Amino acid sequence: DLDRPLALDAEFDVVLPSIRFLDFTAPDIDFPDIPFSASGRLHNEQTLTRLSDVQAQLGRLRTTINGDLGHDDSYKLEISARGDDASRLGKFFKLSIPAHAIALDTRLEGNFEQLALNDLQLNLGASEVHGNLQFGFDELTSISGELNSSHLDLSWWLPEKSDQPKSQPEPGALVFDDTPVLRIEDYGVETDLRLRFDLVDLGNTEIKDIDLGVALHPRLLRIEPMSLRGSTGGAISGRALVDGRRGTPEMNFDMQASDLRLGLAAVEGQSIDTYPETDINMTLTGRGFTRRELVSSLDGKIRIQAGPGKIGKTTASLFFSDFMTDLISKLNPFSETNEYTNYECSVLAAD
C-alpha cells in the first residue's frame, strides 16, 4: 500500500577510511584525506523519523545530533560539535581558519523553504558568537536575526601585509562617476540583522561596544542604529539611509563622533597618544541616480574640530602649501626640524 509505506527502525555504524573519494560529487571542494564515521539509531513514527544519539566524526571534529526528520521535509535537530583544530575545516569553505579549538551548539529547525539556527553558540579559540539566525529561500535569499559577542578575533580574516609595493590603479576621468547608486537587486539577498559586539580584534586595532542594525531590501539600505567606540577612546554614533523605492534614490546620513584619534594624518611609527583628538558632526542629504548626481546634490553641514597633536608634514601640505607649512614652523621659536607638524587646534566647517 503506497499510502502507508513501510517504516524501518535501524541502528547504524558506518566507517569510511577517507572522504577524498567524494571529490566527484563536488569538484570545487578539495576534500581532505581524513576518515569519517557515523553511528546512531533511527526510529520511525507515523509522521516523522526520530534520530537518537547520532554520533558523527570527521577527522578530529566530533558531532552529536538528536531530533526529528518530518515526513513533510521538515526537521528539528539539536546539534553539538567539538574539535581541537578548526583549520581543517578551512578547505571546505576556502578560508584560512586558525588552528584553534572550535565548539558549536544550535537548534536547527526548518524545511526546504526556510531554516533557523536558534540558540546558536559558536566558539573559536577565545572568540565567541551567540544569537539566532533565520534564512529564507525564495526569489530573494533572506537573512535575519541577531548576533552578539563578548570577544571576536577577526585578525586572521584580514589579508596579511605584503612588502611588495601595491600597483596604483589608473585614475579615472571623474572622481565621482556615473555608476548607479542603488544596485541592491544584483545581490539577490535581503537582510535584517542586529549586531552587538563588545570587542572586535582586527589585529592592528580593536573596536568596542559595536551596535549595528543593517537592513538591506530591494532599492533600500538602512543602517540604524550605528554606534561604536575605539580601543583608546572616542565614540561614533549615527544612521545612514539610501532609499530608492519611490524612484530617485535619496540619501540621509547623520554622524556624531567625539574624542576620535584618527591616524589618517599620522607618520609610520607615530604614537597614538600624539594623534589630535577630533570631534565630528555631520548631517548630509542628497538624491540622484548616479554617484555624480548624488554628490552634486549634497546638502547639509559638516563640523570637524581637532585638538592639539601632531600630524605628518606631508599630510599638512595637502591642506596648506609647502610655503605656509614652512612659515608656520619658522615663526614658532620652539619648533624642531622633524617629520611632524604641531597643531594646537584646527576647525573645519562646511554648509
Mean pLDDT of 20-47: 81
**Amino acid letter for position 126:** A
Between 67 and 58, residue with greater pLDDT: 67
Q: Is the pTM of this model over 0.85?
A: no
Q: What is the largest CA-CA distance in the chain?
A: 102
Task: Find the range with the poorest average confidence among 128-132, 190-194, 259-263, 332-336.
Answer: 332-336
Composition of the chain by helix, strand, coil, percent to 5: 15, 50, 35
Instruction: Please give the pLDDT value at position 106.
Output: 98
Q: Report helix, strand or coil for 23.
A: helix
Instruction: Please give the pLDDT value at position 184.
Output: 57
Residue 334: how many CB atoms within 10 A of its CB? 5
Instruction: Please give the pLDDT value at position 331.
Output: 45
Top mean pLDDT of 17-21, 24-28, 89-93, 346-350 is at: 17-21
Instruction: Evaluate if residue 339 carries a pLDDT over 60.
Output: no
Mean pLDDT, rounded, of the chain: 80
Mean pLDDT of 35-53: 91
**For residues 213 and 220, what is the distance between their CA atoms, to the nearest angstrom?**
14
Instruction: Evaluate if residue 251 carries a pLDDT over 80.
Output: yes
pLDDT in tens, 177-201: 777 776 655 667 899 999 999 999 9
Q: Please choose, from the candidates 110, 44, 56, 48, the residue with its C-alpha nearest in 3D space to the C-alpha of residue 80.
A: 56
Q: Please choose, from the candidates 346, 329, 327, the residue with its C-alpha nearest in 3D space to the C-alpha of residue 276.
A: 346
State the pLDDT confidence band at 276, using cuts at 50, 70 and 90.
confident
State the pLDDT confidence band at 272, using cuts at 50, 70 and 90.
low
pLDDT in tens, 294-305: 888 989 999 888
Instruction: Please give the pLDDT value at position 323.
Output: 40
Instruction: Please give the pLDDT value at position 291.
Output: 82
Instruction: Please give the pLDDT value at position 295.
Output: 85
- In the chain, the percentage of residues whose pLDDT exceeds 70 is 73
Bridge partners of 217, per DSSP, are: 220
